Amino acid sequence: MSSDVKDTPTAVGPAVTRPQADSTSEAAAQAQVRPIVWTIAGSDSGGGAGIQADLLTIQDLGGHGCTAITAITAQSSVAVDHVEPISDAGFIAQLDTLWADLKPRAIKIGLLTGPEQVKLLADWLAQRQAEAPGSLPPIVLDPVLVASSGAMLNTTEASDQFDPLLPFIDILTPNGDELAALTGVVLDSPKAVVSACEQLLKRGAKAVLAKGGHLIFDGAETLHGQPAGPRCVDLLYSAELKALFDGPRIDTDNTHGSGCTLSSALATVLAQDYVMEDALAVVRAYLHNGLTASQRFGAGPGPLARTGWPTELASFPRVPLPGSALNRAYGLEAESEQAKLPEAPFTPCEVAELGVYPVVDSVEWVKRLLQLGVKTLQLRIKDQSPEAVEADIALAIELGHAYEARLFINDYWQLAIKHGAYGVHLGQEDMAIADLAAIQRAGLKLGLSTHGYFEILRAHALAPSYIAMGHIFPTPTKQMPSAPQGLTRLHNYVALVQPHRPAVAIGGIDIPRAFEVAKSGVGSIAVVRAVTQAKDVAEALGELQCAFESAPTLPTAAALAAQPQERECSDA
Ligand SMILES: Cc1ncc(COP(=O)(O)OP(=O)(O)O)c(N)n1
Ligand SMILES: Cc1nc(C(=O)O)sc1CCOP(=O)(O)O
Ligand SMILES: [Mg+2]
**Spacing, Cα 368 to ligand 2 middle (Å):** 20
Binding-site residues from annotation for Mg(2+):
411, 430
Identify the CA nearest to 370 among candidates 395, 345, 353, 344. 395
Identify the CA nearest to 304 among candidates 285, 289, 320, 325. 289
Is the shortest distance between the CB of 6 and ligand 1 below 6 Å? no
Tell me what pLDDT residue 145 has.
Answer: 80
DSSP code for 565: -
Task: Calculate the dihedral angle through the C-alpha atoms of 144, 148, 153, 154, rounding to the nearest 10 degrees.
Answer: 40
d(CA 139, CA 264): 10
Residue nearest to atom 4 of ligand 1 (CA): 449
Supply φ then ψ for residue 161, to 5 degrees: -65, -30
What does the DSSP assignment read for 248-310? EPP--S--BTHHHHHHHHHHHHHTTT--HHHHHHHHHHHHHHHHHT----SSSPPBPP---S-
Please, which residues have CB less than 5 A from ligand 3, an ion?
410-411, 427
Query: With 0-12 CB in 10 A as exposed, 13-18 as middle and 19+ as buried, what is 539?
Result: exposed
Is the shortest distance between the CB of 541 and ligand 1 below 6 Å? no
Is the shortest distance between the CB of 478 and ligand 1 below 6 Å? yes
Contact at 8 Å (CB) between 92 and 120? yes
d(CA 446, CA 424): 5
Candidate of 446, 449, 472 to mutate for ligand 1, largest count of ligand atoms within 8 Å of Cβ: 449
Supply φ then ψ for residue 40, to 5 degrees: -110, 100
Supply φ then ψ for residue 524, to 5 degrees: -155, 145
Tell me what pLDDT residue 221 has.
Answer: 46
**Spacing, Cα 392 to ligand 2 middle (Å):** 22
**Spacing, Cα 373 to ligand 2 middle (Å):** 22
The domain made up of 355-562 has a fold known as: TIM Barrel (3.20.20)
Crossing angle of helices 363-371 and 386-402, rounded to 10°: 10
Tell me what pLDDT residue 144 has.
Answer: 85
Is the shortest distance between the CB of 406 and ligand 1 below 6 Å? no
Residue nearest to atom 7 of ligand 1 (CA): 427
- Every domain of the chain with CATH number 3.40.1190.20 lies at 35-329
Task: Name 10's Cβ contacts closer than 8 Å, sequence gap at least 6.
Answer: 16, 33, 34, 35, 62, 272
φ/ψ region of 308 (left if φ > 0, alpha if ψ in -120 to 50, else beta) reads left
Candidate of 473, 475, 490 to mutate for ligand 2, largest count of ligand atoms within 8 Å of Cβ: 475
Give the burial string for 156-190 (b: 16+ CB within 10 Å, else e). Answer: eeeeebbbbbbebbbbbbbbbebbbbbbebebebb
Number of residues in the chain: 572
Global pTM reads: 0.89
Identify the CA nearest to 105 among candidates 12, 49, 31. 31
Supply φ then ψ for residue 149, to 5 degrees: -75, -5
Binding-site residues from annotation:
378-382, 410-411, 430, 449, 475-478, 508
**Spacing, Cα 520 to ligand 2 middle (Å):** 18
- Every domain of the chain with CATH number 3.20.20.70 lies at 355-562
DSSP code for 522: -
Query: With 0-12 CB in 10 A as exposed, 13-18 as middle and 19+ as buried, what is 220?
Result: middle
**Spacing, Cα 247 to ligand 1 middle (Å):** 29
**What Cα–Cα distance (Å) separates residue 3 from each residue in 34, 439, 473?**
18, 41, 11
End-to-end distance of the chain based on CA atoms, in angstroms? 43
Contact at 8 Å (CB) between 71 and 111? yes
Chain centroid to Cα 329, Å, comes to: 23
Is the shortest distance between the CB of 182 and ligand 1 below 6 Å? no
Tell me what pLDDT residue 561 has.
Answer: 47
**In this predicted complex, what is the ipTM?**
0.95
Ligand 2 pocket at CB < 6 A: 359, 449, 451, 470-471, 475, 477-478, 506-509, 527-530
Contact at 8 Å (CB) between 352 and 558? yes
Element (H, E) at 398: helix 386-402
Candidate of 528, 531, 544 to mutate for ligand 2, largest count of ligand atoms within 8 Å of Cβ: 528
> Angle at Cα 36 formed by Cα 30 and Cα 42, nearest 5°?
140
Q: Kindly report the number of other CB atoms within 10 A of residue 464's CB atom.
A: 31
Q: Kindly report the number of other CB atoms within 10 A of residue 100's CB atom.
A: 8
Query: With 0-12 CB in 10 A as exposed, 13-18 as middle and 19+ as buried, what is 31?
Result: middle
**Spacing, Cα 552 to ligand 1 middle (Å):** 27
Supply φ then ψ for residue 248, to 5 degrees: -70, 145
**Spacing, Cα 25 to ligand 1 middle (Å):** 42
d(CA 154, CA 133): 31
CATH of 35-329, picked from 3.40.1190.20, 2.40.33.20, 3.40.50.300, 3.40.1830.10, is 3.40.1190.20
d(CA 533, CA 541): 12
**Spacing, Cα 429 to ligand 1 middle (Å):** 11
Amino acid at residue number 119: K
Q: Is 408 helix (H, G, I), strand (E, B) or coil?
A: strand
Q: Which ligand is nearest to the CA of 478?
A: 2
Residue nearest to atom 16 of ligand 2 (CA): 508
Contact at 8 Å (CB) between 322 and 462? no
Tell me what pLDDT residue 10 has.
Answer: 33
Is the shortest distance between the CB of 441 and ligand 1 below 6 Å? no
**Spacing, Cα 563 to ligand 2 middle (Å):** 29
Residue 108, beta-bridge partner list: 39, 140
Candidate of 378, 380, 406, 425 to mutate for ligand 1, largest count of ligand atoms within 8 Å of Cβ: 425
Question: Which atom of ligand 1 lies at the shortest distance from residue 357's CA?
Answer: 1
Contact at 8 Å (CB) between 2 and 26? no
Is the shortest distance between the CB of 427 and ligand 1 below 6 Å? yes
Mean pLDDT by 10 residues, the chain (572 residues): 33 33 44 87 95 98 98 92 95 98 98 94 98 96 77 72 95 94 92 96 96 69 53 94 93 93 98 98 98 95 96 95 84 68 93 96 98 98 96 98 98 98 95 92 98 96 96 96 95 96 98 95 97 98 91 53 42 32
Strand locations in 19-63, DSSP E? 36-44
Candidate of 480, 482, 509 to mutate for ligand 2, largest count of ligand atoms within 8 Å of Cβ: 480
Residue 7, beta-bridge partner list: none
Tell me what pLDDT residue 214 has.
Answer: 73
Contact at 8 Å (CB) between 145 and 153? yes
d(CA 274, CA 280): 9
Residue 243, beta-bridge partner list: 236
**β-strands 503-506, 524-527: how paired?**
parallel
**Spacing, Cα 445 to ligand 2 middle (Å):** 20
